[in-house]
A and B are shown apart, each in its own frame.
Chain A
Amino acid sequence: MNFLKSIALTALVAAAPMVAATDAAAEGERYVLVSHAPDSDTWWNTIKNGIALAGQQVGAEVEYRNPPTGDIADMARIIEQAAASNPDGIITTLADFDVLAGPIRNAVDQGIDVIIMNTGTPEQAREVGALMYVGQPEYDAGYAAGLRAKGEGVTKFLCVNHAIQQPTVGERCRGYADGLGVELGDAMMDSGTDPAEIKNKVLAYLSANPDVDGILTLGPVSADPTIAALKENGMAGDIHFGTFDLGEEIVKAIKEDIIKWGIDQQPFLQAYMPVVILANWDRYGVLPGNNINSGPGFVTKAGLEKVEKYAGEFR
């Protein structure tokens, strides 16, 4: 029976990864970090490094979970799933309050400590009963960027948004506009994530709106093609250019005076701090009295050395 053989094969492959997994169980507390990031988002690599290092240092078992396609409803299921496995703590983003508040609330009521990181606000964290919020308040960060850009002479801007389906990312554009004191209007561009498309959209927008004197990008995905676009139309270094997050190309552009500053929300801290805080809370009952703002930290040409060394790993 040939196909009986393939059934046996199915069983065999089903068993293989699990055997390996059970060996990996370590002693100590178990913390699960749940993010909203799709697999394609490499920015979260720093987060993974952050929890891994923290777990190693405090001797706790840490796990990273995310919805493969970035679907927030799937993420809610992952939180429910994490809660059902009874970990000592859950660290999660609050990418959509409506969707995630219920599952998080249930986990808290079940007796699991929760820390909100990266996305969400301190108010929302309190509302779901989390211990604290660790991250960068996006609107405030955008506002700070807008204020700074205003001081540096920007009057009309373009915000290149490569993650239009994530409302919290768009908050940066809104904050920036308010910081500048101008209407957002059509200054926020839905650029998509394809580099060639982003580059050409930026070129088209700038040639159609010659009075734009400031650009804000929301991460490496939109920043890298925008750098290429500015090099092509000769506006590199000429136009005021700020960005969120860091990356190799961004660091290089800061060095070359194409980008004025990168706003670092320090993902490493967002992942590292919650693990350390939870471990100390579980072991000794000590807890910082406040939320932790991991950003905005402005990274300029001064002090790029460490950033360069650890970009994409811990920075």
Chain B
Amino acid sequence: MSDAPAADERVKEISRFRQALIRPELGGMVGTMAVFVLFFLFAYDSGMFAAQGVMNWSVVSAQFMIIAVGACLLMIAGEFDLSVGSMIGFAGMMIAVFGVVLAWPMWMAILITFAICLALGALNGWIVVRTGLPSFIVTLAFLFILRGFTIYIPQTIESKTIIGGIRDAAEGDWLGALFGGKIGTGFFQWLGDMGVIETFERGTRQGQPVVDGIPMLIVWAIMLIIFGHILLTRTRFGNWIFAAGGDPEAARNSGVPVNRVKILMFMFTAFCATVFATCQVMEFGSAGADRGLLKEFEAIIAVVIGGALLTGGYGSVLGAALGALIFGVVQQGLFFAGVESSLFRVFLGIILLAAVILNTYIRRIITGER
């Protein structure tokens, strides 16, 4: 702004420093750096920064990122989805029911599951925009409805609450490999041969590297972040999302299809949850009725640490991704640092609080309120 041809007294001068400070990702960036520096100091020799350790916290962070991208866009559009965790359990169970119990081809089971979950997301959004009820209440209802079905369905048809055999059913399936496979295996084998990363000492995988590729989970996380970021910052639809969350009435008056934007964001959140669930069942080979418990809050926490405002209209996908990274690194890192695991919650609470306080300051800077 400062190098505009002629100074305009209507445009307020903002220094570059100040401009950098009001970016929503700022808190996330500073937090990420702080967390890495600290863990590097305190857990350097614990295996946390060896190949296996890096893969461990990367995978956990990627999980958070996948659901955080959906939660972030939805939150910017001014709504919450508390059914994310239940949706993860539900989607995984659907894949198991179609793919294992009914023995349909895995790609069909996955596609049908995506269709069902997107429809449920749309239903969530439709109820919210039609009734005008807070999304908090509507999706809270779905939290219980979906969890109930996730327990009821396998219990009824198989009289158990974990359905296994998904890995075998997905063997050689083209779509299954897109969620459960790994890429770069040759490169990692080479790294292992070169002695850059450790190799297994015994067993059937002797000589293979302990990290043998990048899981598709991480690839999905990166793709979703890029997609979400571009959608939000480079497209007209992105502006609509901000407008729908910032001031829905004003947005409606200026022709933004607020209801459609919100319903689509609910569907996108459901999509992210289903991606999470599919990757999980493909990797672990079974669907359990208790999967995804409390994940909705973890998604919201990642988004809030990443600088989005709970009131909507403000936030960034990159911030949410950094929030997820902080969350993952801290959660896994505390173990490597040898901290009692019950303290993790204390720590998380403190980070969350600090992030919210930071965000409040940022909002005041932007809006100029005192």
Interface set of A (CB-CB < 8 Å, partner B) = 2-3, 6-7, 9-11, 13-15, 17-22, 24-25, 39, 63-66, 68-73, 76-78, 80-86, 96-99, 102, 105-106, 108-111, 129, 164-167, 170, 190
Contacts and interface: CB of A to CB of B under 8 A. Distances in A.
Contacts of B354: 6-7, 9-10, 13
A2 B361 contact: yes
B347 A85 contact: no
B293 A71 contact: yes
B52 A84 contact: yes
B206 A76 contact: no
Contacts of A64: 341
A6 B358 contact: yes
Given A21-B337, A84-B52, A97-B164, A109 B34 contact: no
Contacts of B42: 15, 18-19, 21-22
Contacts, number: 183
23 contacts: A3-B361, A6-B354, A6-B357, A7-B354, A9-B354, A15-B38, A21-B338, A71-B293, A73-B288, A76-B284, A77-B59, A80-B56, A80-B59, A81-B53, A82-B335, A85-B48, A85-B336, A86-B47, A98-B162, A98-B167, A109-B202, A164-B289, A170-B160
A129 B350 CA distance: 41
Given A17-B347, A165-B288, A167-B162, A3 B358 contact: yes
B291 interface: yes
Contact of A98 (B285, B338, B346): B285
Contacts of B167: 98
A85 B53 contact: yes
B338 A63 contact: yes
Given A65-B341, A170-B160, 8 more contacts: A14-B347, A73-B291, A77-B60, A85-B48, A98-B166, A108-B202, A111-B202, A167-B162
Given A18-B38, A73-B280, A81-B332, A98 B56 contact: no
Nearest to B37: A11
A2 B148 CA distance: 47
B311 interface: no
A70 B288 CA distance: 11
Most buried by B among A3, A7, A11, A84: A84
Given A13-B350, A17-B347, A63-B338, A96 B362 contact: no
B335 to A, nearest CB: 6
Contact residues of B: prevailing secondary structure: helix
B201 A111 contact: yes
B294 to A, nearest CB: 5
A13 B343 CA distance: 12
A114 to B, nearest CB: 12
Most buried by B among A2, A73, A99: A73
Interface string B141-167: 000000000010001000011101111
B204 interface: yes
Contacts of B200: 106, 109-111
A108 B201 CA distance: 9
Interface in B157-205: 160-162, 164-167, 198, 200-205
B284 A73 contact: yes
Interface in B197-234: 198, 200-206, 210
Given A65-B335, A85-B335, A10 B155 contact: no
B43 interface: yes
Contact of B164 (A83, A98, A166): A98
Interface string B261-292: 00000000000000000001000111011111
Contacts of A17: 334, 337, 339, 343, 346-347
Contacts of A13: 347, 350-351, 354
A110 B50 CA distance: 14
Nearest to B361: A3
A64 B30 CA distance: 32
Contact of A66 (B53, B290, B341): B341
Interface in B58-78: 59-60
B66 to A, nearest CB: 13
B38 A14 contact: yes
B131 to A, nearest CB: 29
Nearest to A168: B162
A78 B335 contact: yes
Contacts of A9: 354
B151 A99 contact: no
Contacts of A190: 151, 155
B337 A18 contact: yes
Contact of A7 (B34, B52, B202, B338): B34
Contacts of A81: 53, 56-57, 332, 335-336
Contacts of B201: 109-111
B19 interface: no
Nearest to B50: A84
Contacts of A111: 200-202
Nearest to B334: A17
B35 A14 contact: yes
B189 to A, nearest CB: 15
Nearest to A102: B284
A98 B286 contact: yes
B259 interface: no
Contacts of B330: 14
Nearest to A65: B341
B361 A24 contact: no
A109 B203 contact: yes
Nearest to A81: B56
A106 B78 CA distance: 44
Nearest to B280: A73
A39 B167 CA distance: 30
A10 B290 contact: no
A223 B165 CA distance: 34
B59 A167 contact: no
Contacts of B57: 81
